Structure 1
Amino acid sequence: MTDVLVVLKVYPDSDEIDLDQLANTIGGKLPEGYSVMRKDTEPIAFGLKALVLYIKMPEQTEGGTDTLEEIASNVEGVSHAEVVGVTRLGF
């Protein structure tokens, strides 16, 4: 089975949210077979930054990337999350 790399942009609900802690919380809620490969931040406006997570997950997953958006959006301190990219890993 092939894995995919999903780029998930997570928008915090305030500029006081610790993005490292937020990434750890989201990573801890991921289902088996999913893993955070990398994390970055991206400026939004007025000091607010989005958390950008690169998550490896199985390609043939029921619900696709909707599960990731739902998991991240339901974490305390998150305004919303959206998938901004998907690419295949392996052949």
Structure 2
Amino acid sequence: MGEVAATIKIMPVDVDTNLEELKDRLIASLPEGAEYGTHEEEPIAFGLKAIKMIVIVGDLEGGTESVEQAFAAVEGVESVTVTEVGRPV
């Protein structure tokens, strides 16, 4: 089985969400077989920032689905979107 690096954009519920705490909760929620790569904050508008996180997952059908579901269940998350999938560098 190969691995892929998925870039996932996580939108917080509001501008007052502590992104460092949210990032820690997201990493803690990663399902078995998924591995945290890196992250960055992306300014959106009016002080709102998203977290763009790279997660390494198995190259299987539905490979990011369990990560998306885990992230969506984390307190403080408004939405989760996979923006890119490719081979890890």
Length-normalised TM-score, structure 2: 0.90
Structure 1 unaligned spans of 5+: none
Q: Alignment partner of 1:89: what SS?
A: coil
Instruction: Tell me the residue number matched to 1:20.
Output: 20
Measure the CA separation in 2 of the matches of 1:29 and 1:74. 9
Instruction: Tell me the residue number matched to 1:81.
Output: 80
Measure the CA separation in 2 of the matches of 1:79 and 1:89. 27
Measure the CA separation in 1 of the matches of 2:30 and 2:52. 15
Structure 2 unaligned spans of 5+: none
Query: What are the residue-to-residue correspondences of 1:41-56 with 2, within 5 Å?
Result: 41-56=41-56
Measure the CA separation in 1 of the matches of 2:5 and 2:20. 20
| Deviation for aligned residue 1:69 | 1.7
Q: Alignment partner of 1:85: what SS?
A: strand
| Structure 1 position 10 matched with structure 2 position 23 | no
| Structure 1 position 35 matched with structure 2 position 13 | no
Structure 1 runs of 4+ aligned residues shifted over 6 Å read: none
Q: CA RMSD in A?
A: 1.4
Q: Are 1:2 and 1:89, in contact at CA under 8 Å, matched by a contact in 2?
A: no
Amino-acid identity (%): 35
Q: What amino acid is aligned across from residue 63 of structure 2 in structure 1?
A: G
Residue deviations 1:43-88 (CA, integer Å, cap 9, x gap): 111000000100011112x533222221111111111110000002
| Deviation for aligned residue 1:33 | 2.1
